[in-house]
Amino acid sequence: MSAARLLKSWEGLLLLMLAVVVGLSIEHSPVYLGVGNIVNLFQLEIEKIIVALTMTLIIINGEIDLSVASVMGLSACVIAWLFHHGVPMPLAMLAALAAGGVAGLINGFWVAYVGLPSLAVTLAGLIGYRGIARVLVEDRSFGGYPDWFNAIGQRAQFGPLTVSIVVFLVLYAVIAVVLHRSGFGRLIYVMGNSLQAARYSGVRVRPVKLSLFVTSGVVAALAGLLYAARLGSVRGDMAQGFELDIITMVLLGGVSIFGGSGNLAGVGLSILVILNLRNGMGLADITGNTQTSVIGALLILSVLAPNMVQTIRDKWKGRQT
Amino acid sequence: MNWLQRHIQPEQVRELILLLLIVVAITAFASVIPNYFTPRTFDRIASSVVIIAVAAIGQTLVVVTRNIDLSVGSLVGGAAYFAGTIAGLDKGLPPVAVVMVAVALGVAGGALNGLLVTLGRIPSIIVTLGTLAIYRGVLVDLSGAKTVTTDSLPQWIVDLPHTTVFSLGRLDFTVSIVLMLGMVAIAQLVITRLNFGRRFYAIGSNPDAAQLIGMPIRRTLFTAFVLSGALAGLAGFLTLARFGTITVDNARGLELQVVAAVVVGGVNIFGGSGTVVGATLGAILIGTLEQSLYRLDISEFWRDALLGLLILLAVASDAVILERLRALWARTELKLLDKKPVARERPS
């Protein structure tokens, strides 16, 4: 991509936003670019940005998964429940990932094989999986996990990086290769552009969709596991409402809600913008709710601005001819 | 069968099934919970249903046009909070003025949503996801995280949940319930009988066709969002009347319950079909389950799990049963068309 085209593209816009936010933050605090602060920056929202990666695949495929936050909660609650019923921790962790896989399998079955709208199916999942999580832990809080488990989420084990951050980086690389360098990745785009066209070209669309939902479930469960390890205790309402933040990250990254377009570079930049924005606002004593509304405004503006430019350009052209 | 088919549409069959489900649920709960058939149970279910149902009317109007309004939770919370604050500042304010404040706030929020969707050409799910966060943020900022308390409210609002308009047997129909029933009746008539209302369906089932025959698409979509906002405002007022104590976190997550009611009520999430009465029945079923499971001590935590299952079943039955019913109806119609010329050839 040439420099001029980069400037006009979505990624260029995000890069500009990122530069402004980071610039302002550095001016505000000289330690901003220190390794400690950057690790901290990632740590605070690490579970959300992990799930945002698989959400990107789902949305490019033309679907949506609203149930991810509930699956995160379910996974954490499965670990808590099993561990407190005497199941060894590694087994409990495997069971949590399996629970995520089953949740994804259920979503995927109804969407891919029965043909129901994913918005409705995963809305049911959002409520239902959270319900199961609540049934497991009720209104109690489970703590007292082995040190090595808590360390997964809290301690820097790879140089300055935690396990969670390494998981994110590895997953980012894997998904980037799958999405942009493999045949499977092309299928995801093709199906997002036109499911009919994909089907008529002989693509076996159902297994592809199912596998995406299962992946989304397993990764959400993994994120829930990491969240439990980071907090060191589990409650029934863990990760509640995260789905909106996660979807915002993906859409701000330039992925079309209608599917078929967007890329992982954009989502990576959007993640950096949101993390830096939240951190910067935190340094400037702006609290959680205002932070969320600024990001909401950014989401709307990021779609509104290009639309407006397009409208003005069209009018200008109309006048010339 | 033919007589039946001529008088009942597939969509109405679906509403009848929903009605049947509500009856089955109530009978089942009555056999498990002692003293279930009391005015108190009715009161409890009704006060929860009215809020969801009023917001669900507006959501139906939006979903039928192939859009969605996720900002209702924040609008309901905002309207409840500010109407409560203003009513507390001047206790002499007439009730109509307090309701108008709540509705006006909803209208303002809905209008912004509508403008962004129509003039800004942004998908409604993105707009309302954003405004869901923005409206809540504005509420928290402006309020300074203070709480509206029952003490600060004028007496008539505190009394409103017990103010009865008429009674059927031992069941009291409060102002809130009557208000809800009125709104449902008006909205149902408008959306099924008036040209203005039919446009919502036309745009939702085929936007391109609606554009080609010259329907005012932007104006209609804008109206849908404004109405959704207005009804969310009204639901906010009902919330204020029900609880009295309103924190800035009030009605957080309500949008999911409202969308759930609409989906369970048989409104197609891709637009073009569904009715206000259906959405209301959806709200009643969800409200009945929620409030009744609450009474079964052991199952309190099963509530959400069951609700999720219910939504899934509703959507699945929509896809499987309703499609078959429609096909059956269409086939019968074809047969009737075939027979007509034959009947004309044989003079009696």
SS3 letters for A119-180?
HHHHHHHHHHHHHHHHHHHCCCCECCCCHHHHHHHHCEEECCEEHHHHHHHHHHHHHHHHHH
pLDDT band at B2 (very low <50, low <70, confident <90, very high): low
Contact B304 A297 (CB under 8 A): no
pLDDT tens digit sequence for A216-263: 999 999 999 999 999 999 998 899 888 888 998 999 898 988 899 899
Q: Looking at residues B121-137, what average pLDDT do you find?
A: 91
SS3 letters for B212-250?
HCCCCHHHHHHHHHHHHHHHHHHHHHHHHHHHCCECCCC
pLDDT tens digit sequence for A94-138: 999 999 999 999 999 999 998 888 988 998 899 899 989 988 988
More confident residue, B314 or A54: A54
Mean of pLDDT over chain A: 90
- Classified as helix, coil or strand, B145 is coil
Q: How far apart are CA B312 and CA A118, in angstroms?
A: 11
Residue B9 CA from chain centroid, whole number: 21
Token pair for residue B109?
């929020």
Q: Looking at residues A141-156, what average pLDDT do you find?
A: 89
- Is the CB of residue A299 less than 8 Å from the CB of residue B116? no
pLDDT at B348: 45
Contact B301 A131 (CB under 8 A): yes
pLDDT at A91: 96
Contact B305 A241 (CB under 8 A): no
pLDDT tens digit sequence for A268-286: 999 999 999 888 888 778 8
Token pair for residue A14?
């995000």
3-state helix, strand, coil in chain B (%, to 5): 80, 5, 20
pLDDT above 90 as % of chain B: 45
Q: Which residue of A has its CA nearest to B264?
A: A120
Q: How far apart are CA B268 and CA B204, in angstroms?
A: 10
The residues that bridge with B172 in the sheet, in sequence order, are B167
Q: What angle do CA B145, B147, B149 make, to 5 degrees?
A: 175
Query: Above 80 in pLDDT, residue B301?
Result: no
Q: At residue B165, what are phi and psi to the nearest 5 degrees?
A: -85, -50
Residue of A78, A299, A302, A314 for testing the chain B interface, max B β-carbons within 10 Å: A299
Rg from Cα positions in chain B? 22
Mean of pLDDT over chain B: 87
A127 chain-B contacts, CB cut-off 8 A:
256, 260, 304, 307-308, 311
Q: Is B120 on the interface with A (CB under 8 A)?
A: yes
Strand segments, DSSP code E, in chain B are 164-168, 171-174
Contact A297 B134 (CB under 8 A): yes
Query: Above 70 in pLDDT, residue B340?
Result: no
Q: How far apart are CA B80 and CA B75, in angstroms?
A: 8
pLDDT tens digit sequence for B271-299: 888 999 999 999 999 888 888 877 776 55
More confident residue, B28 or A225: A225
Contact B129 A290 (CB under 8 A): no
pLDDT band at B109 (very low <50, low <70, confident <90, very high): very high
Query: Above 60 in pLDDT, residue A26?
Result: yes
Query: Above 90 in pLDDT, residue B162?
Result: no
pLDDT tens digit sequence for A80-104: 999 999 999 999 999 999 999 999 9
Query: Above 60 in pLDDT, residue B342?
Result: no
pLDDT tens digit sequence for A158-200: 888 999 999 999 999 999 999 999 999 999 999 999 999 999 9
The residues that bridge with A231 in the sheet, in sequence order, are none
CA atoms within 13 A on the CB side of B96: 0
Q: At residue B237, what are phi and psi to the nearest 5 degrees?
A: -60, -40
The yes/no answer to whether this complex scores an ipTM above 0.85 is: no
pLDDT above 70 as % of chain A: 97
pLDDT above 70 as % of chain B: 95
Q: Which of B132, B307, B312 sits opposite A121 (nearest CB)?
A: B312
- Classified as helix, coil or strand, B172 is strand
Residue closest to A67 by CA, chosen among A271, A227, A276, A224: A224
Q: What is the pTM of this model?
A: 0.86
